[in-house]
């Protein structure tokens, strides 16, 4: 049995690489729905429909443990899928928001937390709800900023180019204008670490901690498997990773090779 990692596009690679770094022995299938990215600007119904298709597809490929390495899908579809579409005795689907929020509790010093995320994740209020649960409503000051241009720039291969600077600065400044006391910024979209250098540059001169999710999700998965040996013992241990994309194979392979800094040979699939 393999572990499935799903994202709307390349973003989940930032999670996959950290998970494989921490747990290299297992077999993985990465699925990027690049042909239909971005999800973050779509309606609840469509995100739910696409995510459910991806979960069913990965299940048919032999995955019984699936990580939604996508905040938008975690925010908009995870709970419904867990409640209505899967039998937890045969398949488990996990998201990335809960572990991130739990980790942030020990990172922020003053409780002023900023969220950078897709419009879908921001509108879902998932981070606000989860952070308030963790901190208590009185103790958290949460600001959110939608970044609708970041995923399209990354998917178009523009993340390292100068043109992206304008939109990085724009959203970071809008977030800090909402609350100048923010001491922790969550990159609440798995694509955003691919803009990390530019984000760090835009935050130069501040003491703000930038939280990317890869290490957090990897540690949380490790902990989950330690607690769920009934699943852990079923995982195959060949150390492989298969890359599947709904886009053209060569497009995904070229970009993913750059993002992961190793050769990737993707296979095109229809889901």
Residues assigned a catalytic role: 70, 189
DSSP string, 160-197: TSTHHHHHHHHHHHHHHHH-TT--EEEE-STTGGGGHH
Beta partners for 92? 65
Please identify which residue in 190, 220, 253, 255 interacts with ligand DGL, judged by CB under 6 A: 190
Judge whether 197 and 17 are in contact, CB under 8 Å: no
Site string for ligand DGL, 74-113 (x = CB under 6 A): ----------------------------------------
Is residue 116 within a helix (H) or strand (E), and if so which, with residue range? strand 112-117
124 is an interface residue for ligand DGL by CB under 6 A: no
CB of 2 to ligand DGL, least distance (A): 21
Q: Please enumerate in sequence order all residues whose Cβ is within 8 A of that of 45, keeping only pairs 6 or more positions apart, or say none.
A: none
Which residue from 17, 108, 121, 184 is in contact with ligand DGL, where contact means CB under 6 A?
121
Among 17, 34, 51, 72, binds ligand DGL (CB under 6 A): 72
Minimum separation from the CB atom of position 80 to ligand DGL (A): 17
11 binds ligand DGL (CB under 6 A): yes
Q: Which of 37, 51, 143, 253 binds ligand DGL (CB under 6 A)?
A: 37
Nearer to ligand DGL, 151 or 176 (CB): 151
* Least gap, CB of 210 to ligand DGL (angstroms): 15
- Contacting ligand DGL (CB under 6 A), which of 28, 30, 39, 243? 39
- Residue 160 to residue 175: CA distance in whole angstroms: 22
Which residue, 185 or 189, has its beta carbon nearer to ligand DGL? 189
Three-class DSSP category at 145:
strand
- 266, with CB counted inside 10 A (0-12, 13-18, 19+), is buried
Residue 70 sits in the site that holds ligand DGL (CB under 6 A)? yes
Closest to ligand DGL by CB, 54 or 266: 54
Give, to the nearest 10 degrees, the angle between helix 97-104 and helix 214-227: 110
- Omega before 38 within 30 of 0, i.e. cis: yes
Q: Find the binder of ligand DGL among 3, 7, 17, 241 (CB under 6 A).
A: 7
Give the residue from 155, 47, 191, 34 showing the smallest Cα distance to 171: 191
d(Cα 31, Cα 205) in Å, to the nearest integer? 38
Site string for ligand DGL, 143-162 (x = CB under 6 A): --------x-----------
Residues that bind ligand DGL (CB under 6 A): 7-9, 11, 37-40, 70-72, 118, 121, 151, 189-191
């Amino acid at each position: 049995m393999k572990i499935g990692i799903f994202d709307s596009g390349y973003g989940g690679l930032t999670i996959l690489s950290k998970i494989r770094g921490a747990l290299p022995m297992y077999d993985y299938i990465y699925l990027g729905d690049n042909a239909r990215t971005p999800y973050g600007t779509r309606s609840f119904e469509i995100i739910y429909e696409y995510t459910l298709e991806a979960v069913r597809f990965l299940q048919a490929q032999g995955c019984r443990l699936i990580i939604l390495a996508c905040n938008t899908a975690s925010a908009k579809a995870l709970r419904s899928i867990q409640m209505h579409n899967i039998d937890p005795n045969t398949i488990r689907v996990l998201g990335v928001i809960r572990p991130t929020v739990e980790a942030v509790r020990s990172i922020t010093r003053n409780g002023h937390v900023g969220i950078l995320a897709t419009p879908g994740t921001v509108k879902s209020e998932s981070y606000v709800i989860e952070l308030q649960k963790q901190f208590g409503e009185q103790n958290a000051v949460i600001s959110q900023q939608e970044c609708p241009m970041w995923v399209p720039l990354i998917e178009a291969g523009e993340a390292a180019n100068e043109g992206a600077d304008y939109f990085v600065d724009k959203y970071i400044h809008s977030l800090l204008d909402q609350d100048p006391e923010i001491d922790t910024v969550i990159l609440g979209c798995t694509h955003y670490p691919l803009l990390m250098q530019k984000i760090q540059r835009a935050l130069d001169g501040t003491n703000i901690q930038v939280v990317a999710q890869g290490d957090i999700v990897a540690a949380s998965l490790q902990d989950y498997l330690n607690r769920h040996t009934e699943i852990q013992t079923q995982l195959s241990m060949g150390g492989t990773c298969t890359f599947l994309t709904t886009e053209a194979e060569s497009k995904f392979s070229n970009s993913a090779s750059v993002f992961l800094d190793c050769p990737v040979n993707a296979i095109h699939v229809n889901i």
